[in-house]
Homo-oligomer: A and B are copies of this chain.
Amino acid sequence: MNDAVSSVNAGASEIEFWFDFASNYSYLSVMRIEAQAMQRGVAIHWRPFLLGPIFRALGFDNSPFVLQKEKGAYMWKDMERQCRKYGLAWARPTTFPRTAVLATRVALLGAQQSWIAVYCRRIMQLNFAFDRDIGSIDVVSEALGELGLPAQQIIADAQSDANKLRLREQTAVAAAKGIFGAPTFFVGAEMFWGNDRLDDALALCDTTATPG
């Protein structure tokens, strides 16, 4: 079955997961969410988007972690500790934030495919554990190839005008929903910001689930 959402138990509730491959706190959630959601029988709607246009619309020309050096210095320390806590590999990327438009277009194209979770984890690991340039076509091809997927075809589809437009629309939807950072989760209309709120968001799914 290719539809990752419909493969989850009928009647389970759902979480919308908005993330950006350049976002370090999105890395934590991308690595954690599938197992956490599975445990609770919650379906994940994967919503890759680009934070860059969101930040620009809010008047920032870069990540707050770059613009505010005290906050940035703290964040790198925090990431080390958070990765240790969750048992995740960590290497500070030599480029940050590493915008990854192609990787994001691929994720959007595959958002309802069975490979979406493992693909997103692989891209995140390449950025935050292996310090690879996930903005390049080579690295995206490699990631897809490793999963046994037809990289060339997927990349061609991802670069189609229709899919490029979909990513712009996806990012506009993010702005319209009031998203100002990543990761961001929605359970129904309730918005949760940050990896620190993933557990709370999933706990709300439990209480809002309709009987199967």
Binding site for B on A (CB under 8 A): 58, 68, 70-71, 73-74, 77-78, 81, 85, 178-181, 190-194, 196-197, 200
Closest CB in chain B relative to A143 CB, distance in Å: 31
Which residues from B are CB-within-8-Å of A190? 77, 81
Give the contacting residue for A178; candidates B70, B178, B197; CB below 8 A. B70
Given A191-B77, A193-B74: A68 and B200 within 8 A (CB)?
Answer: no
Instruction: Count the copies.
Output: 2
Given A70-B58, A85-B200, A200-B85: A78 and B180 within 8 A (CB)?
Answer: no
A71 to B194, CA, bound (A): 12
Give the contacting residue for A71; candidates B68, B180, B196; CB below 8 A. B180
Given A81-B200, A200-B85: A191 and B58 within 8 A (CB)?
Answer: no
Name the CB-closest residue of B to A57.
B70
Docked-complex contact B180 and A70, CB < 8 angstroms: yes
Which residues from B are CB-within-8-Å of A85? 200
A156 to B179, CA, bound (A): 47
Which residues from B are CB-within-8-Å of A181? 71
Which residues from B are CB-within-8-Å of A196? 194, 196
Closest CB in chain B relative to A13 CB, distance in Å: 17
Which residues from B are CB-within-8-Å of A73? 178
**From A74, A85, A190, A191, residue with most partner B Cβ within 10 Å:** A74
Docked-complex contact A68 and B74, CB < 8 angstroms: no
Give 16 new A-B contacts, CB below 8 A, not counting A70-B179, A74-B180. A58-B70, A68-B180, A70-B178, A70-B180, A71-B180, A71-B181, A73-B178, A74-B191, A74-B193, A77-B190, A77-B191, A78-B192, A78-B193, A81-B190, A85-B200, A196-B196
